[in-house]
Protein backbone atom coordinates (compact mmCIF):
# COMPACT_ATOMS: atom_id res chain seq x y z
CA UNK A 1 0.00 0.00 0.00
CA UNK A 2 1.32 3.44 -0.89
CA UNK A 3 -0.12 6.51 0.82
CA UNK A 4 1.10 9.98 -0.12
CA UNK A 5 -1.76 12.00 1.32
CA UNK A 6 -1.50 14.75 3.88
CA UNK A 7 -4.50 16.44 5.46
CA UNK A 8 -4.29 19.94 6.86
CA UNK A 9 -4.25 20.06 10.66
CA UNK A 10 -6.95 22.05 12.40
CA UNK A 11 -6.12 25.72 12.39
CA UNK A 12 -3.78 25.62 9.39
CA UNK A 13 -6.37 25.76 6.58
CA UNK A 14 -5.79 29.46 5.92
CA UNK A 15 -2.03 29.14 5.51
CA UNK A 16 -0.89 29.59 1.91
CA UNK A 17 -0.76 25.99 0.74
CA UNK A 18 1.54 26.71 -2.17
CA UNK A 19 4.52 25.94 0.05
CA UNK A 20 2.97 22.73 1.32
CA UNK A 21 2.19 20.84 -1.87
CA UNK A 22 4.44 17.75 -1.89
CA UNK A 23 6.84 17.38 -4.79
CA UNK A 24 8.81 14.31 -5.79
CA UNK A 25 12.07 16.03 -4.87
CA UNK A 26 10.86 16.73 -1.34
CA UNK A 27 9.03 13.47 -0.67
CA UNK A 28 10.76 10.74 1.32
CA UNK A 29 9.10 7.35 0.76
CA UNK A 30 9.18 5.41 4.01
CA UNK A 31 8.35 1.70 4.14
CA UNK A 32 7.41 -0.12 7.34
CA UNK A 33 7.37 -3.86 8.03
CA UNK A 34 5.02 -5.02 10.78
CA UNK A 35 5.42 -8.78 11.18
CA UNK A 36 4.84 -11.60 13.63
CA UNK A 37 7.75 -13.99 14.14
CA UNK A 38 8.59 -17.65 14.64
CA UNK A 39 11.28 -19.46 16.58
CA UNK A 40 13.35 -19.98 13.42
CA UNK A 41 15.76 -17.11 12.71
CA UNK A 42 16.36 -18.06 9.08
CA UNK A 43 12.62 -18.17 8.34
CA UNK A 44 12.17 -14.73 9.89
CA UNK A 45 15.07 -13.31 7.88
CA UNK A 46 13.77 -14.66 4.61
CA UNK A 47 10.34 -13.21 5.32
CA UNK A 48 11.93 -9.87 6.18
CA UNK A 49 13.92 -10.00 2.95
CA UNK A 50 10.80 -10.70 0.87
CA UNK A 51 9.10 -7.68 2.45
CA UNK A 52 12.15 -5.48 1.82
CA UNK A 53 12.23 -6.54 -1.84
CA UNK A 54 8.51 -5.87 -2.25
CA UNK A 55 8.59 -2.42 -0.65
CA UNK A 56 11.74 -1.44 -2.55
CA UNK A 57 10.15 -2.45 -5.85
CA UNK A 58 7.22 -0.15 -4.97
CA UNK A 59 9.59 2.79 -4.51
CA UNK A 60 10.51 2.82 -0.82
CA UNK A 61 13.71 4.75 -0.14
CA UNK A 62 14.00 3.79 3.53
CA UNK A 63 12.54 0.70 5.22
CA UNK A 64 12.13 0.24 8.98
CA UNK A 65 11.80 -3.13 10.72
CA UNK A 66 10.57 -3.77 14.26
CA UNK A 67 12.70 -4.43 17.33
CA UNK A 68 14.57 -7.77 17.47
CA UNK A 69 12.99 -8.82 14.19
CA UNK A 70 15.05 -11.96 13.65
CA UNK A 71 13.52 -13.91 16.54
CA UNK A 72 10.70 -14.24 19.00
CA UNK A 73 10.75 -11.68 21.81
CA UNK A 74 12.88 -13.83 24.13
CA UNK A 75 12.90 -11.31 27.01
CA UNK A 76 9.63 -12.64 28.44
CA UNK A 77 11.73 -14.76 30.80
CA UNK A 78 15.27 -14.93 32.16
CA UNK A 79 16.91 -17.88 30.46
CA UNK A 80 20.61 -18.18 29.64
CA UNK A 81 19.76 -20.37 26.65
CA UNK A 82 18.30 -17.30 24.92
CA UNK A 83 21.77 -15.85 24.46
CA UNK A 84 21.97 -18.16 21.46
CA UNK A 85 19.98 -15.52 19.57
CA UNK A 86 22.83 -13.02 19.93
CA UNK A 87 25.31 -12.47 17.14
CA UNK A 88 28.40 -10.47 16.35
CA UNK A 89 27.45 -7.39 14.35
CA UNK A 90 29.60 -8.57 11.45
CA UNK A 91 27.51 -11.74 11.13
CA UNK A 92 24.22 -9.85 11.35
CA UNK A 93 25.47 -7.25 8.87
CA UNK A 94 26.34 -9.78 6.19
CA UNK A 95 22.67 -10.53 5.57
CA UNK A 96 21.10 -7.07 5.86
CA UNK A 97 23.95 -5.26 4.11
CA UNK A 98 23.27 -7.33 1.01
CA UNK A 99 19.53 -6.68 1.36
CA UNK A 100 20.10 -2.91 1.44
CA UNK A 101 22.56 -2.87 -1.45
CA UNK A 102 20.64 -5.22 -3.73
CA UNK A 103 17.44 -3.22 -3.25
CA UNK A 104 19.03 0.25 -3.15
CA UNK A 105 17.30 1.22 0.11
CA UNK A 106 18.29 2.51 3.51
CA UNK A 107 17.47 -0.15 6.12
CA UNK A 108 16.82 0.41 9.83
CA UNK A 109 17.36 -2.95 11.53
CA UNK A 110 17.51 -4.30 15.08
CA UNK A 111 20.01 -6.82 16.47
CA UNK A 112 20.81 -8.69 19.68
CA UNK A 113 24.46 -7.68 19.68
CA UNK A 114 27.13 -9.91 21.23
CA UNK A 115 29.79 -7.31 21.86
CA UNK A 116 32.01 -9.51 24.06
CA UNK A 117 31.57 -12.53 26.33
CA UNK A 118 29.06 -11.45 28.95
CA UNK A 119 28.38 -8.08 27.27
CA UNK A 120 25.33 -7.72 25.05
CA UNK A 121 23.29 -4.85 23.67
CA UNK A 122 19.95 -4.20 22.00
CA UNK A 123 21.34 -2.44 18.94
CA UNK A 124 19.77 -0.72 15.96
CA UNK A 125 21.95 -0.80 12.85
CA UNK A 126 21.31 1.45 9.87
CA UNK A 127 22.52 0.33 6.46
CA UNK A 128 22.81 2.87 3.67
CA UNK A 129 21.54 2.12 0.19
CA UNK A 130 24.98 0.92 -0.93
CA UNK A 131 25.04 -1.69 1.85
CA UNK A 132 27.51 0.15 4.06
CA UNK A 133 26.82 0.60 7.77
CA UNK A 134 25.77 4.23 8.14
CA UNK A 135 25.72 3.98 11.93
CA UNK A 136 24.37 2.18 14.96
CA UNK A 137 22.53 3.00 18.16
CA UNK A 138 22.58 0.95 21.34
CA UNK A 139 19.34 1.12 23.30
CA UNK A 140 19.84 3.48 26.24
CA UNK A 141 16.75 2.90 28.40
CA UNK A 142 16.44 -0.77 29.40
CA UNK A 143 13.15 -1.96 30.98
CA UNK A 144 12.76 -4.61 33.65
CA UNK A 145 9.09 -5.48 34.05
CA UNK A 146 7.10 -8.72 34.12
CA UNK A 147 7.36 -10.13 30.61
CA UNK A 148 10.01 -7.56 29.61
CA UNK A 149 13.14 -8.69 31.47
CA UNK A 150 15.58 -6.85 29.24
CA UNK A 151 18.08 -5.98 31.96
CA UNK A 152 18.95 -9.67 32.15
CA UNK A 153 20.08 -9.58 28.52
CA UNK A 154 21.17 -6.05 27.60
CA UNK A 155 23.70 -3.61 28.98
CA UNK A 156 22.61 0.04 28.60
CA UNK A 157 23.85 1.73 25.47
CA UNK A 158 27.06 3.75 25.55
CA UNK A 159 26.90 5.58 22.22
CA UNK A 160 24.61 8.37 23.40
CA UNK A 161 21.91 10.00 21.32
CA UNK A 162 23.56 10.64 17.96
CA UNK A 163 21.62 10.96 14.69
CA UNK A 164 22.84 8.79 11.84
CA UNK A 165 23.71 10.38 8.50
CA UNK A 166 22.36 8.49 5.49
CA UNK A 167 21.74 9.14 1.81
CA UNK A 168 18.09 9.99 2.63
CA UNK A 169 18.80 12.31 5.54
CA UNK A 170 19.76 12.43 9.19
CA UNK A 171 17.91 9.78 11.23
CA UNK A 172 17.22 9.91 14.95
CA UNK A 173 17.06 6.18 15.67
CA UNK A 174 15.92 5.10 19.14
CA UNK A 175 14.51 1.77 20.35
CA UNK A 176 11.20 0.85 22.05
CA UNK A 177 11.47 1.84 25.76
CA UNK A 178 13.35 4.96 24.63
CA UNK A 179 10.07 6.17 23.11
CA UNK A 180 8.69 7.10 26.53
CA UNK A 181 11.46 9.62 27.20
CA UNK A 182 11.09 13.12 25.72
CA UNK A 183 14.72 13.87 26.59
CA UNK A 184 15.96 11.29 24.08
CA UNK A 185 13.77 12.65 21.29
CA UNK A 186 14.75 16.23 22.10
CA UNK A 187 18.49 15.58 22.03
CA UNK A 188 18.18 13.79 18.69
CA UNK A 189 16.25 16.77 17.31
CA UNK A 190 18.72 19.30 18.70
CA UNK A 191 21.52 17.38 16.97
CA UNK A 192 19.78 17.68 13.62
CA UNK A 193 17.64 14.55 13.24
CA UNK A 194 15.13 14.98 10.42
CA UNK A 195 13.10 11.93 11.43
CA UNK A 196 12.59 10.04 14.70
CA UNK A 197 12.48 6.26 14.25
CA UNK A 198 11.46 3.71 16.89
CA UNK A 199 11.80 -0.03 16.19
CA UNK A 200 9.50 -1.50 18.85
CA UNK A 201 8.25 -4.66 20.57
CA UNK A 202 5.32 -3.80 22.84
CA UNK A 203 2.05 -5.49 23.65
CA UNK A 204 -0.64 -6.39 26.16
CA UNK A 205 -0.92 -9.02 28.82
CA UNK A 206 -3.88 -11.03 27.45
CA UNK A 207 -5.36 -11.08 30.97
CA UNK A 208 -5.76 -7.29 31.11
CA UNK A 209 -9.23 -5.82 30.77
CA UNK A 210 -9.99 -4.21 27.42
CA UNK A 211 -10.18 -0.69 28.87
CA UNK A 212 -6.70 -1.14 30.36
CA UNK A 213 -5.40 -2.39 27.02
CA UNK A 214 -6.88 0.65 25.30
CA UNK A 215 -5.24 3.01 27.82
CA UNK A 216 -1.83 1.43 27.31
CA UNK A 217 -1.96 1.56 23.52
CA UNK A 218 -3.36 5.11 23.51
CA UNK A 219 -0.58 6.27 25.85
CA UNK A 220 2.02 4.66 23.57
CA UNK A 221 0.65 6.47 20.53
CA UNK A 222 0.18 9.77 22.37
CA UNK A 223 3.71 10.02 23.78
CA UNK A 224 5.26 9.47 20.37
CA UNK A 225 2.93 11.93 18.68
CA UNK A 226 4.01 14.43 21.32
CA UNK A 227 7.65 13.93 20.33
CA UNK A 228 6.68 14.84 16.76
CA UNK A 229 4.87 17.97 17.93
CA UNK A 230 7.48 19.17 20.43
CA UNK A 231 10.32 18.76 17.94
CA UNK A 232 8.54 19.54 14.69
CA UNK A 233 9.65 16.36 12.91
CA UNK A 234 7.89 13.17 11.77
CA UNK A 235 7.95 9.98 13.84
CA UNK A 236 8.08 6.42 12.49
CA UNK A 237 7.20 3.69 15.00
CA UNK A 238 7.28 0.05 13.89
CA UNK A 239 5.95 -2.65 16.22
CA UNK A 240 5.62 -6.41 15.88
CA UNK A 241 2.21 -8.08 16.05
CA UNK A 242 0.72 -11.40 17.11
CA UNK A 243 0.68 -13.51 20.26
CA UNK A 244 3.87 -14.99 21.74
CA UNK A 245 3.64 -17.36 24.69
CA UNK A 246 5.84 -17.10 27.77
CA UNK A 247 8.18 -20.13 27.60
CA UNK A 248 8.45 -20.15 31.40
CA UNK A 249 4.68 -20.35 31.83
CA UNK A 250 4.81 -17.71 34.58
CA UNK A 251 2.67 -15.24 32.64
CA UNK A 252 -0.02 -15.47 29.98
CA UNK A 253 2.40 -14.29 27.29
CA UNK A 254 2.30 -11.09 25.26
CA UNK A 255 -0.15 -10.09 22.58
CA UNK A 256 1.87 -7.58 20.56
CA UNK A 257 -0.53 -4.85 19.49
CA UNK A 258 0.93 -3.89 16.11
CA UNK A 259 -0.47 -0.43 15.29
CA UNK A 260 2.77 0.64 13.62
CA UNK A 261 2.35 4.24 12.52
CA UNK A 262 3.85 7.34 10.98
CA UNK A 263 3.03 10.73 12.47
CA UNK A 264 3.66 14.07 10.82
CA UNK A 265 5.46 17.03 12.39
CA UNK A 266 2.28 18.27 14.05
CA UNK A 267 1.55 14.87 15.53
CA UNK A 268 -1.04 14.01 12.89
CA UNK A 269 -1.39 10.30 12.16
CA UNK A 270 -0.51 9.83 8.50
CA UNK A 271 -0.73 6.05 8.37
CA UNK A 272 -1.33 3.24 10.87
CA UNK A 273 -1.29 -0.52 10.58
CA UNK A 274 -3.84 -2.82 12.21
CA UNK A 275 -3.52 -4.15 15.74
CA UNK A 276 -3.08 -7.82 14.94
CA UNK A 277 -2.29 -8.36 11.26
CA UNK A 278 1.12 -8.43 9.56
CA UNK A 279 1.31 -5.46 7.21
CA UNK A 280 3.74 -3.61 5.00
CA UNK A 281 3.15 -0.15 3.58
CA UNK A 282 4.83 2.93 2.13
CA UNK A 283 4.09 6.52 3.01
CA UNK A 284 5.47 9.62 1.33
CA UNK A 285 6.64 12.20 3.88
CA UNK A 286 6.94 15.76 2.58
CA UNK A 287 10.19 17.19 3.90
CA UNK A 288 9.29 20.75 2.88
CA UNK A 289 6.16 20.58 5.00
CA UNK A 290 8.26 19.58 8.01
CA UNK A 291 10.41 22.66 7.48
CA UNK A 292 7.30 24.84 7.24
CA UNK A 293 5.86 23.44 10.46
CA UNK A 294 9.01 24.51 12.30
CA UNK A 295 8.44 28.02 10.92
CA UNK A 296 4.84 28.07 12.17
CA UNK A 297 5.59 26.54 15.55
CA UNK A 298 9.19 27.55 16.48
CA UNK A 299 9.41 25.56 19.70
CA UNK A 300 13.17 25.18 19.47
CA UNK A 301 13.57 28.95 19.21
CA UNK A 302 11.58 29.67 22.38
CA UNK A 303 13.15 27.12 24.72
CA UNK A 304 14.39 28.64 28.01
CA UNK A 305 17.64 26.73 28.18
CA UNK A 306 18.89 29.04 30.95
CA UNK A 307 16.33 27.47 33.35
CA UNK A 308 16.50 23.77 32.46
CA UNK A 309 19.36 22.68 34.71
CA UNK A 310 17.01 20.56 36.82
CA UNK A 311 16.48 18.14 33.95
CA UNK A 312 19.81 16.53 34.76
CA UNK A 313 18.67 15.67 38.30
CA UNK A 314 17.11 12.33 39.21
CA UNK A 315 14.56 14.20 41.34
CA UNK A 316 14.22 17.75 42.66
CA UNK A 317 13.26 17.98 46.33
Which positions are annotated as active-site residues?
67, 139, 176
Residue 166: name the closest of 308, 15, 30 by CA: 30
Name every residue whose Cβ is closer than 8 Å to that of residue 175 and which is 6 or more positions away in sequence: 67, 110, 122, 124, 137, 139, 198, 199, 200
The phi, psi pair for 224, rounded to 5°, reads: -75, -35
Tell me the three state secondary structure of residue 272.
strand
The strands making up 254-257's β-sheet, listed across from edge to edge, are 203-204, 254-257, 241-244
- Cα separation, 145 vs 76, whole angstroms: 9
Give 46-109 as a 3 state SS string: HHHHHHHHHHHHCCCCEEECCCCCCCCCHHHCCCHHHHHHCECHHHHHHHHHHHHHHHCCEEEE
Residue 158: name the closest of 138, 136, 129 by CA: 138
Amino acid sequence: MINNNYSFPTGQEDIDNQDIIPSSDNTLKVGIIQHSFSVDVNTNRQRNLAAIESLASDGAQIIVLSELHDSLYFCQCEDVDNFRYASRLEDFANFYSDAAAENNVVLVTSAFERRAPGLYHNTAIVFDSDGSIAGKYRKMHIPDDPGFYEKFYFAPGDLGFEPIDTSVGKLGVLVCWDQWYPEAARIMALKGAELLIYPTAIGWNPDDAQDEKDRQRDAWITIQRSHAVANGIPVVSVNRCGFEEDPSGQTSGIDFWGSSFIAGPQGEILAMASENTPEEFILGIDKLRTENVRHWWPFLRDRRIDFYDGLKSRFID
